[in-house]
Amino acid sequence: MEGLVSCPDCGLIFSRLDHATNHDAKQKIKRFDFDYIIKTNKLPSDVSFIRLLLYSIFFGVFGGHCFYVGRYFRGGFLLINFLFFLCLAIFNSEIALVADGALLGVLSTICGFIMLLWIWDIIMIAIKRFKVPIAIDLENERAIHEKEQQDREKFFNEVKEIEKNVEIIERQEINIDKPKEENIKENKRKKDENSSRN
């Protein structure tokens, strides 16, 4: 995909990603409108890397960094997991009585593994691989891309037309020069004949 100006499948012009915003994506997600939302690890201009990293470190266990960028499902999952883990910690003596503590062990292990998502997110943010949703209007992108292609084709057709006209003009100049050359040759021949007679 390196070196490509646009996506061959959807027509997205990659330079347009510089103008896409996370704010628009969050508004669309809140309305459950998931059309034209893509996730990219290139942070848009309205998302601060430092703020995202600090949210993930200090509030990441609650899904704070996910709520900040509009990844509400992932953030909600982390928040529910934390609340469930908190309930296990508060009511561990009662849960430990169920199945001789096996249930508490299983549930706390599951919660612990899910909490690894938080650590994973911190690492991904630190190495700038964390995906952030942005809103792109792909229909508009396709229209822009098609118009640019039409403009390019029109330009190349005009260049071809100009080249064709230049060829025609060059041919006409050659045809104009031919009689002059023939006249020069004829005059030279006549001079040669006159000189041979003398």
Question: How high is the pLDDT of residue 97?
Answer: 75
Query: Is the whole-model pTM more than 0.85?
Result: no
| DSSP-assigned letter for residue 47 | S
pLDDT of residue 198: 59
d(CA 96, CA 104): 6
- How far CA 25 is from CA of 8, 32, 78, 147, in Å, comes to 23, 10, 21, 26
How far apart, in whole angstroms, are the C-alpha atoms of residue 148 and residue 134? 23
6-63 pLDDT per residue, tens: 677 766 667 777 778 899 899 999 999 888 888 988 899 899 999 999 999 999 999 9
Q: Token match 């023939």: residue?
A: 182
Nearest to 141 by CA among 15, 2, 1: 15
Integer Cα distance of 17 and 8 in angstroms: 16
pLDDT confidence bin for 1, thresholds 50/70/90: very low
Question: What pLDDT, on the 0 to 100 scale, is given for residue 12?
Answer: 67
What is the signed CA dihedral for 49, 53, 55, 59, rounded to 10 degrees? Answer: 160
pLDDT digits (tens, 9 = 90+) for 157-196: 898 888 888 887 777 766 655 556 666 667 777 777 777 6
